[in-house]
Amino acid sequence: MTQAIPLEAVLVVAATLFCIGLFGALARRSMVGVLIGVELMLNAVNINLVAFWRYLEPGFTGGLTFVIFIITVAAAEAAVGLALIIAVYRTWLTSNVDNVDSMKG
Amino acid sequence: MYDMLYNLINVVFGFNWPTWLISLIGHAAVAAILFAVAPFQMLFLTYYERRAIARMQDRVGPNRVGPEGIFQPIADGVKMFTKEDIVPKAADRWVHLIAPCVVVAPTMFMFAVVPWGPGMVPVDLNVGLLFFFAISSISAVGLMMAGWASNNKFALLGAMRSVAQMVSYEIPAILSLLAIVMITGTLSIVSIIDAQAGLFINSVDLPGVPDWGLGWFIFTPVGFLAFFCFFIAALAEGERTPFDIPEADSEIVAGYMTEYSGMKFGLFYLAQYVLNFLLCGMTAIIFFGGWQGPGVNWLYSQAISPANPEGMWLFNVLAGVLGVFYFLAKTYFFFFVMIWIRGAYPRLRVDQLMDFGWKFLIPLTLVNMLSAAIWVGLTRWGAAEGLAFIEGWSAGVRWGVAFALTLIINLATYIMMARIYAASQAARSRLELEELRDLAAMSR
Amino acid sequence: MNILIQVIFGLLSALIVGAAMMAVTVRNIIHAALWLIACFFGVGALYLLLEAEFIAVVQVLIYVGAVSILILFAIMLTRQIEGARHLVTGWRLWVTIAICVALFATVLVPTLLSHNWNVPPPVIAEGSDLPAEPLAGAAELGRDFVFVYLLHFQVTGVLLTMALIGAIVIAFEERARRRRVLTLAEEHALREQKKNRGTEEQENR
């Protein structure tokens, strides 16, 4: 496995995914779209960590524990974020980021 | 098995194919067999269910096509194939088309880790048990797609109900299995079955027990409570009565299947029955020893296996046949229990279903995990883990103390939880009655 | 064998990147969520290829089975499925694209390719062409969670509890404020009531 694919190839895939996620998080107007972008970015980070674990320290669990923690944080973030989206929708009847601007000076 | 294939192709025929090609061919062959077996199981189970439920309702059931109606499922299949495939005009065509596939594919995937007999497992994954449940959770996505793409209120309601139900009942299912995983210390399904050799007592916890293949986890208090919780959760996962809310035909037509017809409808049906078969099979495997039973282990010890390469191939066949017989007998028995429950109980309401899952089953499984921890500590730990006082006890005494202690904990928790839950439900229904009375007074 | 792995890796990368592209650009937000699920699945398969079985299964269980379902639920509860403008427009879009492309082309990729990663040479076992490396699996992971990373593990547990409570508190709607959906019979009763009141008023006049 490690001979067939160089580490850089996996890392480039992860970097591409990260940039696509960043684009989604910045460019989407709906809150769910932003959340989708953030999830993509977190996944890109996970790919990186798993790749480092596999190529550099395969016998050591540090990389894997990081991935588990990130997945946990992502799940918590998704739960709270979506609860926020629902609460915002209930108050403003919209889930677009631009329309929620009552704090604008 | 792959060694045999390798020998056949490279040594006997002398083709000298690379190993990856041979292992690909071997896996493809196993996958083909499983793809053939799954629809067959579905055909049999529909017939079985219709006949059994008919008996319970004092009817005869399908009895015209073939002797005793055994060709009825085939006739139904032909009917499904020849029906017109209708897609609503307002539906999201692609999602509507893909949804049945997304529902069926995971159920086929799940067959990959199910052992049918001794040495008869397609893939022995290290994390097989978790794989099984991870894959089963994918079909929820398919249900959501089906409900949304149909552009129909009933379909969407049914999909929301079924997904909420599947997601909530996955938690007690996995937590109850965790107790067993703690006892066996492995997530591989094959190892869990191997741990259930013995005679009413697990031979891992009490060495020296005669091996009749009856050391099932159901005979321990931890295993029994886990089985109780798991089977209820399995009923909810497989959308069986009393948890068939997603397709409650008297409330929301056919739930997420409302806008489907022809073969796509058939695929949903297939997925459902195959999932039920797999859940029954998993119950049999985890708590009732799967293929374990009197004689199988003895037969397999004489057969060709990695541990014993000089065995007789005849014993392979015998052990396989007996193991598959035990496995299928247990599985069909649990499917019968599902039908039995369908014949006996009415349907729950959505909020009752959620209450039951979150407020009754999950606490019970959590306490069961505590019991499992006590079980492991008492039967296997010693001075090294800080339990010096049980160092001198013999294995039998340890086992007895663990049995008594976990039994007391589980029984006490069950009785207490049942009381609290019954009281809360009674209070709730009183509130609902008052609300109804107020409404009635208002409308008067 | 190597060629097979490379082909699978290529297909998976194409799936991941393509699905991610679709997820951030399609107009229909439900389709975006479905593409996101495809992307998660591809990432899970990539983990399997990297021989991290446990992580792959957890990926499918948590992301495909829970997070994406949560996202679909949120979309359906907020009923904003197709907006007229799903992306920011005008100069903001171009700036966003420029930021992402610049990050990718000038920072990430040059760093990744120029850095010396010190990948240790694979351990070749005697008499076999497959490398026998000590791969940490689920069992080692579990042991380290209890012995090495216990504090972190407990902190994550607290975090999850907080998220659970927080999500319930934020999304909770009080019973009194909830819009009650009347049944057909209740609607009928209300209508009757109004009619009766109307006739009573007429009689009073």
- DSSP assignments along B264-331, one per residue: HHHHHHHHHHHHHHHHHHHHHHHHS-TT--TTHHHHHHTB-BTTBTT-BHHHHHHHHHHHHHHHHHHH
Total residue count of chain B as it appears in this document: 444
Any idea of the CA torsion for B204, B177, B221, B329, to the nearest 10 degrees?
Answer: -80
Chains C and B touch (3+ CB pairs under 8 A): yes
Q: What 3-state DSSP class applies to C151?
A: helix
Confidence at residue C133, expressed as pLDDT on a 0 to 100 scale: 62
Chain A positions touching C67 (Cβ under 8 A) are: 39, 74-75, 78
- Measured between CB atoms, which of C86, C112, C133 is closest to A15? C112
SS (H, E, C) B360-408: HHHHHHHHHHHHHHHHHHHHHCCHHHCCHHHCCCCHHHHHHHHHHHHHH
Contacts of C174 in chain A (CB under 8 A): none
Q: What is the pLDDT of residues C31-49, one digit of tens each?
A: 888 899 999 999 999 998 8
Nearest CA distance, B143 vs chain C (angstrom): 10
B99 in reach of chain C (CB within 8 A): no
Q: For residue C84, count other CB atoms closer than 10 A to its CB.
A: 6
C134 pLDDT more than 90: no
Query: CA of C56: how far to CAs of B47, B141, B255, B360, in Å?
Result: 38, 18, 32, 31
Out of C64, C138, C193, closest to residue B141 by CB = C64
Query: What average pLDDT does range C88-116 have in this prediction?
Result: 83
Contacts of B140 in chain C (CB under 8 A): 65, 69
Tokens linked to C166: 């927080």
Chains B and A touch (3+ CB pairs under 8 A): no
Closest chain C residue to B93 measured between Cα atoms?
Answer: C31
Distances (CA, A) of C57 to A74, B72, B138, C82: 16, 39, 12, 33
Burial bucket for residue B300 (CB in 10 Å: 0-12, 13-18, 19+): buried
Please tell me the predicted confidence (pLDDT) of residue C18. 93
C47 contacts in A (CB within 8 Å)? 47, 50
| pLDDT of B121 | 81
**Tokens read off for B409:** 């904990």
| CATH code of the domain occupying A7-92 | 1.10.287.3510
> Can you say how many angstroms the Cα of residue B3 is from the centroid of all Cα atoms in its chain?
31
Put simply, whether C87 touches A (Cβ < 8 Å) is yes
Greatest mean pLDDT among B390-404, C3-17, C87-101, C186-200:
C3-17
Q: How many CB atoms are closer than 10 A to CB B398?
A: 20
Chain B residues within 8 A of C65 when measuring between CB atoms: 134, 137-138, 140, 167, 170
Neighbours of B40 (CB within 10 A): 11
Report H helices in chain A.
7-27, 31-56, 62-92
**CA-to-CA distance for A64 and A57, rounded, in angstroms?**
10
Tens place of pLDDT per residue across chain B (444 aa): 566 666 667 666 766 777 777 777 878 888 888 888 888 888 888 888 888 888 888 888 888 887 877 888 888 888 888 888 777 887 788 888 888 888 888 888 888 888 888 877 888 888 888 889 888 888 888 888 888 888 888 888 888 888 888 888 888 998 999 898 888 888 888 888 888 877 777 666 677 777 777 778 888 888 889 999 999 999 888 887 788 776 766 777 777 777 787 788 888 888 888 889 999 999 999 888 888 888 777 777 777 776 666 777 777 778 888 888 888 899 999 999 988 888 888 888 778 888 888 888 999 999 999 999 888 888 887 777 777 777 777 777 888 888 888 899 989 999 999 999 989 888 888 888 888 888 888 776
CA distances B38 to B131, B260, B276, B278, Å, are 18, 22, 11, 10
Which one, of B82, B70, B2, lies nearest residue B40 by Cα?
B70
- Which residue, A76, B156, B144, B432, is CA-closest to C168? A76
**Helical spans, DSSP H, in chain C:** 2-25, 29-49, 53-59, 68-78, 91-102, 109-114, 138-147, 150-171, 184-204
Residues in chain A closer than 8 A to C27 (CB atoms): none
| CB-based contact, C19 to chain A, within 8 Å | no
Q: Are C55 and C62 in contact (CB under 8 A)?
A: no
3-state SS, residue C118:
coil
Tell me which residue of B55, B329, B110, B419 sits closest to B237, measured CA to CA: B110
Could you tell me if B256 lies within 8 Å of chain C, comparing CB atoms? no
- Whether the predicted interface score ipTM is above 0.95: no
Identify whether B294 is preceded by a cis peptide bond (ω within 30 of 0): no
Distance from CA of A104 to the nearest CA of C (A): 19
Q: Is the pLDDT of residue C130 over 60?
A: no
Token pair 């679909």: residue: C72
Q: CB contacts < 8 Å between A and C, how many?
A: 245
Q: Is B204 helix (H, G, I), strand (E, B) or coil?
A: coil
B50: closest CA among B65, B34, B35? B65
Q: Hey, CA dihedral for C177, C180, C186, C192, is it positive or negative?
A: positive
- Do C71 and A69 lie within an 8 Å CB cutoff? no
C9/C15 Cα distance (integer angstroms): 10
Tokens 């490379």 found at: C6
Q: Give the distance from residue B160's alpha carbon to the nearest chain C alpha carbon, in angstroms.
A: 8
Verify whether the Cβ–Cβ distance C108 to A15 is below 8 Å.
Answer: yes
**In a 10 Å sphere around its CB, with 0-12 CB exposed, 13-18 middle and 19+ buried, how is residue B346 labelled?**
exposed
At residue B312, φ and ψ (nearest 5 deg) are -100, 135
Tokens of B291: 């293929």
Question: What pLDDT score was predicted for residue C14?
Answer: 92
Picking from A1, A26, A90, the nearest residue to C96 by CB comes out as A26
Q: Look at residues B365, B376, B417, B150 and name the one whose alpha carbon lies nearest to residue B261.
A: B150
Spans in chain A with pLDDT lower than 70: 1-2, 95, 104-105
Q: Nearest chain C Cα to A44, which residue?
A: C43
Other C-beta atoms lying within 10 Å of the C-beta of residue C15: 17
Give whole-number Cα distances, B229 to B75, B89, B176, B184, B217, in Å.
Answer: 37, 43, 6, 19, 14
Domains of chain B, by residue range, sit at 1-82, 84-348
Tokens of C155: 């902190």
pLDDT at C205: 59
What pLDDT sits at residue C169? 87
Of C9, C47, C135, the CB nearest to A59: C135
A58 with C134: Cβ contact below 8 A: yes
User: Please, is C150 exposed, middle or buried when counting C-beta atoms within 10 Å of its C-beta (0-12, 13-18, 19+)?
Assistant: exposed
Answer yes or no: are the C-beta atoms of C26 and A35 closer than 8 Å: no
Subunits adjacent to chain B (3 or more Cβ pairs under 8 Å): C
